[in-house]
Amino acid sequence: MDRTTADRAGSGGAAEGGTVTTVSPQQDVRQWTPQERAERGKAARAHSPRSAHGEFEPSAQRRDPVDVIERQSATRVPELVPIRYARMTESPFRFYRGAAAIMAADLAGTPDSGFRAQLCGDAHMLNFRLLGSPERRLMFDINDFDETLPGPWEWDVKRLSASLVIAARANGFTDQERADIVRAAVRSYRERMRMLAGMDNLSVWYTRIEADQLQLSAAPRLAKRGRKRLSRAMEKARSRDNLQAFDKLTDLVDGERRIAADPPLIVPLTDLLPGVERTLLEDNIRALIEQYSRSLQSDRAALLKQYRVVDVARKVVGVGSVGTRCWIVLLLGRDDHDPLLLQAKEADTSVLAEYAGASEYDNQGRRVVSGQRLMQAASDIFLGWHRGLGIDGRQRDFYVRQLHDWKGIAVPEEMIPSGMRMFGEVCGATLARAHARSGDRIAIAAYLGGSDSFDRALARFAESYADQNERDHQALVDAVGAGRVKAEAA
């Protein structure tokens, strides 16, 4: 049996029960020629036709979506859970942002080519944004990696595609406009993957999308208003740094800088716990910051040692993450005008793990950091992880990063069809670059091919899944109305 035939026999879609059992091409890709890898990709079309990706039918054994959300909430800070439900009931798009666990189960039952890559795990459109590189260059990249794990590359593309349709529906776009947006995004993914397949490994690794280049390439396709909006977004992102966060989030109290209270979204430790417990938690967080530095590069650890912890507060973040233990830590360096704001966020098991397999890392914070470093073109210099003991005696995993580092997020509600289409194209290209770092880009590109078969299939899938998401959102709204779960705006 030749290598192509042997591998073909070993690759396939999801096994019975929805668990992916594919063999990672990364295990033996070095033993294959580019031609063999391409043949392998084309051969995968036999067991997983590209057109089959357009079908979505919920399983007869599909879990109640509210049950899935409640199961996640059971491990979170109880008084914050109602905020999560309130945010998710606001709209189908807000619900979708918090429903990665629901979609993970649904995706496990969909076709896949058998090729795996490091996944974002929650690749909806708002997790693509402007970010600052260590060289202080403004870039466009993926941002959120709480669910990152190796798995079928199609899952990320499908989550991105469905998010575009859900956001487009909220804006009142027509059926044709939504289809055009998804096809453009998926075509961009496919064409960028085919381009990367022809590049050497180092060139793929160094590939990135810088904001200035993005602005130049987008300018001819944007009206004057669109060009101004993009320029303002870039300027705003560059202004969102430690100093801006310092001015916004802190006050001078008795001559010392402290994190300002904004309950329940930001609650300083002095307001959160009584004396003994507060002191214990402060000591634990100081130890977390000191010990997590071991996960940093030595030069960055040396930089961190030049700062001292002066205050800590609990912070509510995101939509799906509401209720996880998240701390913002104020540190000062040379003087009171040399701040560093870090965010230490609890990391739990990825929602993909039940279907794609457990992480190779037993520390979930390390799983997040390793996935982020693998997928991003350049990561925050203070990105690291730690496992610590809480005041309740339980060990928890955390990852740490800067609170603000030139971050700029899109506003879908302000997008017109052409703008969302262009945004989707950049997201698709970015996702392909991220997947190409770990997956077999040659096999994936060959599987996708030069036709628009996969593009059209995902446009159908995205519409079907948007319908399902609307039903799930309504189920949560009904659960709140019936008193099954409590929602509380903040």
pLDDT of residue 20: 42
Please state which of the ranges 1-15, 234-248, 275-289 shows the lowest mean pLDDT: 1-15
Question: What would the mean pLDDT of 75-88 be, rounded to a whole number?
Answer: 95
pLDDT of residue 240: 78
> Is the predicted pLDDT of residue 113 greater than 80, yes or no?
yes
> Is the predicted pLDDT of residue 165 greater than 80, yes or no?
yes
> Is the predicted pLDDT of residue 22 greater than 80, yes or no?
no
CA atoms of 117 and 189, how far apart (whole Å): 14
User: Among 215-224, 274-283, 382-391, which range has the highest average pLDDT?
Assistant: 382-391
> Is the predicted pLDDT of residue 6 greater than 70, yes or no?
no
The pLDDT confidence band at residue 126, using thresholds 50, 70 and 90, is very high
Pairing of strands 326-332, 339-347: antiparallel
**Enclosing H/E stretch for 344:** strand 339-347
CA atoms of 461 and 170, how far apart (whole Å): 18
What are the residue ranges of helices labelled H in 48-99? 65-73, 81-89, 92-97
> Is the predicted pLDDT of residue 17 greater than 50, yes or no?
no
pLDDT of residue 5: 37
pLDDT of residue 191: 98
The pLDDT confidence band at residue 87, using thresholds 50, 70 and 90, is very high
CA atoms of 328 and 10, how far apart (whole Å): 47
Pick from 268, 325, 393: which is nearest to 80 by CA?
Answer: 325
For the stretch 299-313, pLDDT in tens is 999 999 999 999 999
Contact between residue 340 and residue 259 where contact means Cβ atoms under 8 Å apart: no
pLDDT of residue 221: 81
Start-to-end CA distance of the chain, whole Å, equals 63
Percentage of the chain with pLDDT > 90?
73
Question: What would the mean pLDDT of 70-92 be, rounded to a whole number?
Answer: 95
Contact between residue 115 and residue 440 where contact means Cβ atoms under 8 Å apart: yes
CA atoms of 221 and 224, how far apart (whole Å): 10
The pLDDT confidence band at residue 391, using thresholds 50, 70 and 90, is low
Contact between residue 349 and residue 396 where contact means Cβ atoms under 8 Å apart: no
Answer yes or no: pTM beyond 0.85: yes
Calculate Rg over the CA atoms of the chain: 23
Question: What would the mean pLDDT of 47-55 be, rounded to a whole number?
Answer: 97
Question: CA 88, 82, 264, 283 torsion: positive or negative?
Answer: negative
The pLDDT confidence band at residue 274, using thresholds 50, 70 and 90, is confident
Q: Token digits for 344?
A: 């230490």
CA atoms of 15 and 27, how far apart (whole Å): 20
- Rounded to the nearest 10°, the torsion over CA 453, 455, 460, 465 is 130
Q: Token digits for 76?
A: 């979170």
CA atoms of 144 and 86, how far apart (whole Å): 21
pLDDT of residue 344: 94
CA atoms of 298 and 279, how far apart (whole Å): 30
Q: Burial of 228 by CB count in 10 Å (0-12 exposed, 13-18 middle, 19+ buried)?
A: exposed
Please state which of the ranges 4-8, 105-109, 404-408 shows the lowest mean pLDDT: 4-8
Pick from 324, 368, 446: which is nearest to 148 by CA?
Answer: 368
The pLDDT confidence band at residue 27, using thresholds 50, 70 and 90, is low
CA atoms of 185 and 390, how far apart (whole Å): 43
For the stretch 462-473, pLDDT in tens is 999 999 999 999
Pick from 249, 229, 197: which is nearest to 130 by CA?
Answer: 229
CA atoms of 153 and 209, how far apart (whole Å): 20
CA atoms of 212 and 154, how far apart (whole Å): 29
Q: Which residues contact 139 (CB under 8 A, 6 or more apart)?
A: 130, 131, 132, 133, 208, 209, 210, 211, 377, 378
The packing angle between helices 100-107 and 153-170, to 10°, is: 130
For the stretch 327-364, pLDDT in tens is 999 999 999 889 999 999 999 999 999 999 999 999 99
CA atoms of 140 and 2, how far apart (whole Å): 42
> Is the predicted pLDDT of residue 242 greater than 80, yes or no?
no
The one-character DSSP state at 22 is P
Please report the DSSP string for 401-420 in residue order. Answer: EES-SS-B---GGG--HHHH
CA atoms of 294 and 86, how far apart (whole Å): 38
> Is the predicted pLDDT of residue 24 greater than 90, yes or no?
no
Q: Token digits for 398?
A: 């955390």
> Is the predicted pLDDT of residue 47 greater than 50, yes or no?
yes
Q: Burial of 301 by CB count in 10 Å (0-12 exposed, 13-18 middle, 19+ buried)?
A: middle
CA atoms of 405 and 245, how far apart (whole Å): 10
Contact between residue 155 and residue 20 where contact means Cβ atoms under 8 Å apart: no
